[in-house]
Each structure stands twice: as C-alpha cells, then as structure tokens.
Structure 1
Amino acid sequence: MKKQIIALTFISTLLFSGFARADEGMWLPFLLGRNYEDMKKHGLNLTQEEIYSINNSSLKDAIVSFGGFCTAEVISKKGLLLTNHHCGYDAIADASSEEENHLDNGFWAKSYEEEIAIPGLTATFVISIADVTEQIAANLTDEMSEEERAIKIREISAELTKEAVGESNYKAFVRDFFEGNEFYLFVTETYEDVRLAGTPPESIGKFGHDSDNWMYPRHTGDFAMFRIYSGTDNKPAPYSEDNQPYNPKHSLPVSIKGYEKGDFAMVFGFPGSTDRYLSSFGVEQAVNIEQPKRVEIRRKKLDIMKKYMNESTEVRLNYASKHAQVANYWKYFIGQSEQLKNNKVADKKRKLEARFNEFAAENPEYADIMETIQKAYAFTDNQVYADVYQSEFIYSVDLNLNVFRFVLLENYIEQGMGERAYGSFKERMMSFYETANLDLEFETLEAVLKMYYNDIPAEMMPELIKNAGDKGKLSKLVKKAKKKSIFSSKAKFEKFDELVEKSEEFPMETLKKDPLFQLIESIYIEYNKLTENEEYVKVMNDLERANRLFVKGYREMDKDKTFYPNANSTLRLTYGSILPYSPEEGKEYDIYTTLEEGLKKEDPNNPEFHVSPKLKELFANKDFGRYANDKGEMVVNFISNNDITGGNSGSPVLNADGHLIGTAFDGNWEAMSGDIFFEKDIQRTISCDIRYVLFIVEKYGEAHNLIEEMEIVE
C-alpha cells in the first residue's frame, strides 16, 4: 500500500457520521488521555507515559518517519530499522546493478562495513508535540479573508517554531488540524546517514506484485532492514565512515509468542492523508470524474514503462520504483471508486449532511455551509481534468517535471534567487539523465499529450497544442522536441550549461525558444489562468472557510463524540484487535495466512509469483527454527482492524505489552473506500508477521548478526 503522497486537487470536506470505535481513529499520542481507559478495556497493559513521554524513554522514541513517505521502527540498541520492502524499494533498486542485483537476489550485510549507504534517505524522530491553538487563534478574527488568515498563521507559526528549537539541532513545524480549527507544534530530529542492512529478494518482498496488491489473503514478506548512523556524540551527522550505529532512546522488543483472535493490537506511525471530511459532492466528483481519468492515464504510463522494462534489465532496475509507485495508485483509484459505490459512501455522507442542515437551521453561524460546499464542487466539475493532467502529466512524468522546474526559473531570477535555483534544477536534471531512458520518457509524453488534447476543453487548452492537434501534428510536435530540445539528452543540456557559464546574464531567451520548454510552459500558463481566475479563487476561499465551519459545527452538534483529525503525515496511534472478517455472506477470512498456502500460488511463467528454490527447500524440510506457530505452520501475514492509510506502510504492529508482532503494509480491497469513510465491519490492516521476518533473516538470509542484536521475547 505505497500510498505515496499525491496532492488531490480539490479540498476534502466533510466528516462521516457514526461514533468512533476502538478500531477507528488515528489518534495523536500526546492526547491519548482521551482514549486511554478504552485502550485498557481492550487489553492494553502499558501506561500513557510508556507510550508517549517527552522526558523519559517511550514507544514514540522507536518510531521513525522513514524518508518522509513511510514509517519504520527501531528494533535494536544499535539503530537497526525495520520497514516495508516497498518502502525501501527505491533505495534497494538504486543500490543494485546488473552485476549486483539486490532487488532480484536480496542482500544481507554480515557486518557494519558491508551495509550500503543510501544518499538522501533520512530517519526522523518526534521529540515533542504541543497544542498551540490558543496562541494562534488569539491572532485570528472572523473578519479576516482566507488569505489574511493564512498569512497570520504562517507568521505566528514561524515565531513558535523558532522559539521551540532555540540553538538545538532540532526542527519544528506547525500543522493545522480539524480543517484549520486547531494547531499543533511538532519538534523533530532527523538523521541523514541511513544504510541498507538487509532485504529479501523481490520474489519474497513483493510476492504477488500488482495482482495481490490490496488483496487478502496475502502471502508477502514485505519487509526490509536499514540502520541509522550518527556522529560519535550520537547526534545527526552527514555520512562519514567514522559514524557509528545510532544508540536509540527506545527500541522495540520483538515478540515471537504469536497472537490469538481478539488480541489487542496497536499501530504507531505516520499516516499520510485521509479524506474523511469529504462531502457527498466530493465523493461524486471523485467517483464520476477524477478517479476514472487518473486510472486511464496511469494505465497508459504503466504499459509504456513495462514495454521498455521487459527489454532491458538496466531499464527495469532504473524504473522499478517508479513503476511500482504508479501501479500502486492506479489500482488504488480503481479499488476506491469501486468500493465508494459498493459501500454507498455518498448516501452515508448525505445522511450526515441532512442532519447538519437541521442543526444549522438553529445556529445561524453555520447557515448555508452545505450550499456553499455544493456550489464549489459544481463550479469545479469542469476543471477537474485540468487538475488531473497537471498532476499526472506535468508533476508525474519525470522528463516533464524536470523541464517544468526551468519554466519556474524566470520567477526565481526576478526574486534574486536565480543562480541558486538554476544550480538546484541542474543537479536534478543531471541526476535524471543518469537513470532515464529518454525513448521511454518521450513516448510517455506523446501518449499522454494526445489524451490531454482529447480531454481538455478547447477554451482551457494552449494554442500551441490545440493548433497541432487540430492538424493531426501532435506526434510531429513531440518529435521536434525530441530532436531539438536542450533537454532531450545529457550532451545537449551540458552544452546549454556551458552557455550559461559563459553568459553575463542568464540566457532566458534560449530557454524560451526551446520546443519542449514551450510545450510545458504553455500548459502551465493555461493552468495558471484557471487557478488564478478571480471567480475560482473566491470559490476556493469560500470552500476553505465552509470546511472549517462545518467541522467546528459538527463537533458542537455531536458533543459526546470523541473526534480525531484527518491524517496529515504526523505521528498517530491506532488501536483495535486481531480479527477475521467476512467480505460476503458465507465467506470468512482467517486472521493469518501461511507459507504453505503462499507456495500454492507459485507460477514459473508469471514473474509476480516466482518462488526461490531456497525458500521451497526450507519449507520442504520444515526448517522454520523457533518461528513456527503452535501448529507447526510458518505464518506469513495477519490482519487486524486497525485504522491506517498510506504513510503507515512499515509501521510497527504492537501487542498489549508494546512488543513488536509485525509490520503493517496494506489494506484490504473490500474497504478501499476507507480513506473517505471507515468501514468498521470489514476494514482490515494487513501485516507481515514478525516471525516470518525473522525466519527469512535467519534461515534464508543467514544474517545471524542481525538476529543477535534484537531483544527477542519468546
């Protein structure tokens, strides 16, 4: 469930109805007092201080934001990290070559010296969280416009973060919650020397690939291990051979006791985003307009990538992570659209909205809120495709994104930041050339450009593209760009860079004459006209205010409910139980799956279901060590009713004593509408059992050194 962070181009709005249950809710750990008694009733054996503490070691000190897009957990006193294979996929692919193909063959460092440095990969801990709503709200008034309000919030937030970090190496930020009704201050510490310590081969770590993604029963060993390194003072430091394994404030004991149906389970991590404030109008727009188009565009991009990846191992390694990211959300949008319909989510939203309207009729402050939201979505319906293509074509095609950065360069030059910006953009461009297949990139550009021409209303389309399309010359437009653009090869770009070095002033006119620059710039200009339109800006500001007032009113309307905010990549804890579920009448899925079941899926003719000979041999010999369950089975995956989403990938699943029993990696197909409406009866978290992790590390990888440094509870 690599739900990488995608900026949806409309603002999420309404909260679902129904009361919060133990399995529902992404709770901020510093506010666990609101849930603690309920957690104890469900089996928790820890104190609040053992879960979250500023002054003492606690569970939160073992939880890491892994690269800013996933979660990892510290599992030894030597800074060893456990996360998902798919979270480390890009790092593993980058560390691989045709000669040393760690993606296909796996990798196990038998010493610190063998661990592989991953440039740019970070591990961030949360030091503290504080409620600063009062400080910020005291400076806001109802008379402020949304723009004035945002400026004031940024101003006060800057003061608060500066005061919070002082002279330390910490960083701080303020995030808004409940659609801008509350504000919390986070202080963090980031380590930037993170190294690959071990990974199973893709045939284990990604067993089932796209076919099994979001599905249960599942049989995927979705894990990888990394290690945090620090300076000699145990503080963050840039990569150095002199750095030492990090000594954490807390590391998670690893339990191989197993679990039973109904046992307490909690997940600690950094969920990326949920849209449980989305209105019925937003649901309808997503299902009928936005998501089908995203699916169509991503399918086209995937087909082109796959064609080139099948022709070359080098291309496959270079594009493996990109393909996985695109494929993950391609299937996500298919599943979410299907389940939003199947689970009748729009109808559930409408019931809440009707109840809110009754409340608003007696509370003038909230009058016309729902009408404002409805009008906003009606206004933006015909602009959704423009938003989708800006995301899927400009931001999500690597060649286009790199050129787009140069489109922004003129603004940076006018601000006196041109030299710095150009240096950064050049560095990214050169990095792109190191792994890019330009035939693939230009074929993708042409294919999606033709879709853009067919989908975008004529009045929103650049004349350059409209004229070429009307004359059937879009292919020629791309062919010209591929032949003449300074971005079409490393050599041509280096020649342009030489011109920049020789020129007293930046040669902006050379850029503006470039055919690929002109193409990307024309789309950007038209999109800007759309989003900077006075009426559009007013509608979006009205919607933002309506969202905030709705949540404020909803919390007043249901005073007895314990509310939790949408996920926004901040540290959260969810709790629930290990439970089976019934996707349909007459069928029930058990709480765990086994290696025996997984091996039955083997298909030598399908790379998604390859099984390594060594794994089959270990199974045949029942060589499971101490990691089999009481029945002698090798458990692979299990399910619980914890509330998670993208960003939670790699999160630890903990038992009632705070011991690690698995790592979360996916959700189930039947509840893929859950990011918008939590389906309490069928929503499940799919996790990799820690016993399978240890079995693969010890028996398959023979990395006994990694096993020895963990605290294993038998």
Structure 2
Amino acid sequence: YMSRDGKPAAYSTENIPLKPKYFLPVSIKGIKDGDYAMIYGYPGGTNRYETSYGVRQKIDIFNPTLVSLRDMRLKYMMEEMRKDPAIKLQLASEYASIANYWKFFDGESKQLVKYHVYDQKVAQEEKFIRWAQGKPEFENIFTDIAKAYDAWRPYSKHQVYMNEGIFGSPLIAFAGTLQQVENALVKSGKSEDIKKAVDAAVKARQEFIRSENKTSDQKILASVLMMFYNDIDKSQHPIGFYESLKGSYGDLKDPATYSKYAATVFNNTFILDSIKWNAFVKNPDGNVLQADPAFATASAFLKNFQGKYLPMMQQFNAKNTDAGREYLKGIMEMDTARAKKLYPDATFTMRVSFGNVKSYQPRDAVNYDYITTMTGMMDKYVPGDYEFDLTPRFREVAGKKDFGQYIDKQRKDLVVGFITTNDITGGNSGSPVIDANGNLIGLAFDGNYEALSHKIAFDKDLNRTICVDVRFVLWCIDKLGGASNLISELKLVK
C-alpha cells in the first residue's frame, strides 16, 4: 500500500493499493529446454577469487566443524519435534534455517574436493607467482597470505565453535547478549545506559522465549560443552571453566558430567524464570547477573574469545583482505584480456544473471529433466515425513487434477518447477525469473546439490538454479487458495 499521493507511508486506513509504474506480465505459455531465462535480485555473497589457502581451510576446518555442530543441534531438535506437533511448529523455522546451511556446507566441501578446486587454485597461483617475480608490488603476496593463514589456522576452529557451538544453544546465545546489560551496570553505571540496555534485553527475551525449547536446548548445551573440551586445544579453553566443572560435576570424559551441569544451568537461570526475570528488570543488579549460571557460561567463553582470539581474527581478516585485493589487481595486470571479463563478487547488491532453461547429467547414466510436475510431487508424498508430507487439503485439490489454464498441454500435467543455468546464490530466493520477452515465468529458490561449490567456483556445465514455475504459483493462489480475484488483477500472457 501507499499514501494517496503515491509515496511510501506508515499504516493508515487512508492508504490505497500500490500503483507501480510497471509490473511484469505473467506468462502461462510454458517453457522449453533451451529457453532464455534472466534473474535479477540481491545475491548475498560469493568468493570467486578465493585463494587455495582459503579453499583448504574450508575443506579441512571450517566446513566439517560447522557441519558436525549443526548435525548435533538438528538431532536434538528433531527428537523433540517428532514428539509433539506443537513443538514441531515452534521449531520448524529455526530447524529449516539450520538445516539449510548444514546441507550447503556439507555439499560445498564434497564438491570442492570432487572437482579439484584446490588444485585449480594452486595452478592459477603458481602461474601468478612466476609472473610476479621481480615485481615488488606483487612478488610477496602469497608469502604474506601463507603467513596469515599459518598464524590463524590453530585458532580458526575455535571461531566456528563460538558461532555454531557455544552460541548454537539459544539460551547461551541470548545470555551472551546480556553482556550489554553488564557493561551498562558495571562499566557505565549511568541510569540512561542501564535503561536502554535492559529495555533492549526485555524485547529480545520475548523473541527468545517464544522459540525456546528447553529440552532440546539443554541437550545441545551439554553436548557442545563436551565437544569443545575434546575438540579445541586445552590452551584455548576459558581459564578455570573446565577445572570448576570437573570439581563440581565429575570426570570431563563422561557425558553425564555435562548433562548434570546443563541441568543446573537450565534449572537455576533467572532468564527462564519470569518472576525472577521481572524482578531483575525492575531492579537490575550486576552481581545477580554475573552469578546467573547461563550468563556465567556465556561470559566465560565470550570474554575468553574476545580477549585473546578476536584481535587475532581481525588481524587475519585484514591481512587476508588486503592481500586478496593485491592479488586481484595483479591478475588484472597479468592478463588484460581476462581482466575485461572479471566481475565483482556478490555483495547483497542488485545483480542480473542470464542463462537458459536446461536439463543436465550430473554423473554417468543419470539424467535430470528440465522440469518437475505435480505427478512427481504426489509420487514423492510420504505421510508424516518432515520433507515430503502434504496436507490433506493439498492432496484433495491436487487429486482432482483441475489445473485449468495452468496445465502444460504437451505433458497434460501441472509443471511445478524447472531448472536453469543462471548463476545465483543465497539471497536470491524469491528472485523473479523472466523470459526473453520480459514475462515472469517463475521464482528462483535454490541451487542443485552438484554445484554447491558455486560460491567459490562456478561450473557452467553443472550449475543449475532451481525455480518454481509461475503456473504452479498461480494454481496455488487460484485453485488451492480460492483467491481467483487476485488472478484477475494480473496480466497473463497465454
């Protein structure tokens, strides 16, 4: 909606429906293998000019650590989701978010190895090093990059554990944000700073409580504390944390030790007790906050990382970024013909991608058609399955096969999705897919598994963008949703 004078406006009963200068016609003519397809949207980020050192760190440390930690979190969440439909609904969004990039990073590692991306990068860098000899501006770039990675490598897993492990527990993640309250109480002491920090915490807690499942979260905390102990070098542990754990709860090699500690945290934190929380909000006290077991846990790991390893990480990032820029500058000088074809990495800004609707063959004796249909969707139906369940309403309407004007006449079926050779990445979900005549034919929403290394290396033969066909979208609106009035407002190209 917009104001009556055609400008953006806050909610008002006086607002009128938006009247854009132009909107895309919607084609229900259908698509063919080879048809032109263009996508525009806001891709999040790519690393097409990553060095071999970055690829190796991803393969050896970053990705497997992240996948392992997310695998653990998903396991405990799913255990509870299977027990209760209400919990399944409560955790569904967070579960899907975690699982999405769990699968991405798992697939990325496998594809980087499968297609020898590291070896390709090494070959490119060796060529560059030979060219750079005798050129002071460029000849030491990879010496500097190697030093930066060597210095940071022993601590890189610790960083992943902080983001994906320690703060993979929703309770500990929220408790960590209370550091702002601690700073206001202990360091500032100003009433306005305290009020601002506490008000922000109250608002954040409301969101946290709404999605918190104590049972799964408690198991996540117990598991990740043991994984951290076993997986991170002892010299990097928070001083005194594990020694205290051993003294009060038992053997650090025994999972029961961590389970008992996690139970203590969840049973005694005022964050999960509304009466105690409200009392703290009414009378904020630094001693009460610091004594809270959830905050104490978050604080131990957070201050340990911030004090010792965050400066090292920032120094590594700065050196790596600077060297990367110099490397790219050198590539452009070394190969002026290639320089004209270089494009910037995705940075959440508007980008346009062109390609074609196209089937593909990922491996021997396997061929993927360029479209999927409602028949295939119904064939995949598995009652109660997290991914392949369908609602009774959907099955009822789809079973009638009343596809109306959206039917694909050649296939005598409703086309649900199609694939193209477009280059997209995370952030493009929902981006319009447009044909050669400027008509909307679908919406991009994913990439194929075989090309999950695309953030670093785009493969024109294997990369595919997965799109929902606009005819399926319209069928959902019209036949499934019964909102034919919305269809009448569209400009359909038949």
TM more than 0.5 = yes
**C-alpha separation in 2, matches of 1:703 and 1:459:** 62
The answer for the alignment partner of 1:520 in structure 2 is 298
Specify which of 273, 294, 298 is matched with residue 489 of structure 1: 273
The answer for the alignment partner of 1:672 in structure 2 is 452
Tell me the SS of whatever aligns to 1:574.
strand
The answer for the alignment partner of 2:174 in structure 1 is 402
Relative to total residues, which structure has the larger helix share, 1 or 2? Answer: 2
Contact 2:171 2:294 in 1 (8 A): no
The answer for the alignment partner of 1:563 in structure 2 is 342
> TM-score when scaled to structure 2?
0.91
Percent identity of paired positions between Structure 1 and Structure 2: 36
**C-alpha separation in 2, matches of 1:497 and 1:690:** 50
The answer for the alignment partner of 2:206 in structure 1 is 430
The reply to whether residue 293 of structure 1 matches residue 73 of structure 2 is no
Counterpart amino acid of 2:475? F
Counterpart amino acid of 1:499? N
**C-alpha separation in 2, matches of 1:587 and 1:474:** 47
What stretches of structure 1 of length at least 5 have no aligned partner? 1-228, 501-506
The answer for the alignment partner of 1:478 in structure 2 is 262
**C-alpha separation in 1, matches of 2:12 and 2:166:** 37
Counterpart amino acid of 2:124? L
Change (3 A) 1:681 1:455: same
**C-alpha separation in 2, matches of 1:431 and 1:242:** 31
**C-alpha separation in 2, matches of 1:601 and 1:539:** 47
Tell me the SS of whatever aligns to 1:230.
coil
What stretches of structure 2 of length at least 5 have no aligned partner? 252-256
1:174-323 superposed matches below 5 A: 229-323=1-95
Contact 1:256 1:627 in 2 (8 A): yes
The answer for the alignment partner of 1:376 in structure 2 is 148
**C-alpha separation in 1, matches of 2:82 and 2:131:** 59
The answer for the alignment partner of 2:486 in structure 1 is 706
Specify which of 663, 669, 680 is matched with residue 443 of structure 2: 663
Relative to total residues, which structure has the larger strand share, 1 or 2? Answer: 1
1:249-648 superposed matches below 5 A: 249-411=21-183, 414=187, 417-470=193-246, 471-472=250-251, 473-500=257-284, 507-533=285-311, 538-561=315-338, 562-604=341-383, 606-631=385-410, 632-648=412-428
* 1:364-387 CA distance string (max 9 Å, x none): 211211121122222222212211
Task: After TM superposition, give the deviation of residue 587 of structure 1 in Å.
Answer: 2.8
Contact 1:468 1:474 in 2 (8 A): no
Change (3 A) 1:467 1:230: farther
> TM-score when scaled to structure 1?
0.64
Contact 2:270 2:292 in 1 (8 A): yes
Task: After TM superposition, give the deviation of residue 467 of structure 1 in Å.
Answer: 1.0
Tell me the SS of whatever aligns to 1:404.
helix
Contact 2:28 2:470 in 1 (8 A): yes
Contact 2:3 2:15 in 1 (8 A): yes
* 1:268-304 CA distance string (max 9 Å, x none): 1111111212211111111111111111111111111
The answer for the alignment partner of 1:145 in structure 2 is none
Task: After TM superposition, give the deviation of residue 431 of structure 1 in Å.
Answer: 2.8
The answer for the alignment partner of 1:70 in structure 2 is none
* 1:608-650 CA distance string (max 9 Å, x none): 3233455445555431111112312211110110000110011
Q: Which moved more, 1:699-708 or 1:240-249?
A: 240-249
**C-alpha separation in 2, matches of 1:676 and 1:382:** 23
Counterpart amino acid of 1:421? A
Tell me the SS of whatever aligns to 2:354.
strand
Tell me the SS of whatever aligns to 1:335.
helix
**C-alpha separation in 1, matches of 2:120 and 2:139:** 21
- The number of aligned residues is 479
Counterpart amino acid of 1:465? F
* 1:311-338 CA distance string (max 9 Å, x none): 2232222211000001111111111111
**C-alpha separation in 1, matches of 2:385 and 2:217:** 26
Tell me the SS of whatever aligns to 1:247.
coil
**C-alpha separation in 2, matches of 1:315 and 1:625:** 38
**C-alpha separation in 1, matches of 2:381 and 2:170:** 34
The reply to whether residue 650 of structure 1 matches residue 430 of structure 2 is yes
RMSD of aligned residue pairs (Cα, Å) = 2.1
Counterpart amino acid of 2:484? H
**C-alpha separation in 1, matches of 2:39 and 2:458:** 16
Q: Which moved more, 1:238-247 or 1:564-573?
A: 238-247
* 1:390-434 CA distance string (max 9 Å, x none): 111344432222111111334456466443232112211123223
Tell me the SS of whatever aligns to 1:678.
coil
Counterpart amino acid of 2:143? E
* 1:196-218 CA distance string (max 9 Å, x none): xxxxxxxxxxxxxxxxxxxxxxx
**C-alpha separation in 1, matches of 2:391 and 2:80:** 25
**C-alpha separation in 2, matches of 1:464 and 1:587:** 56
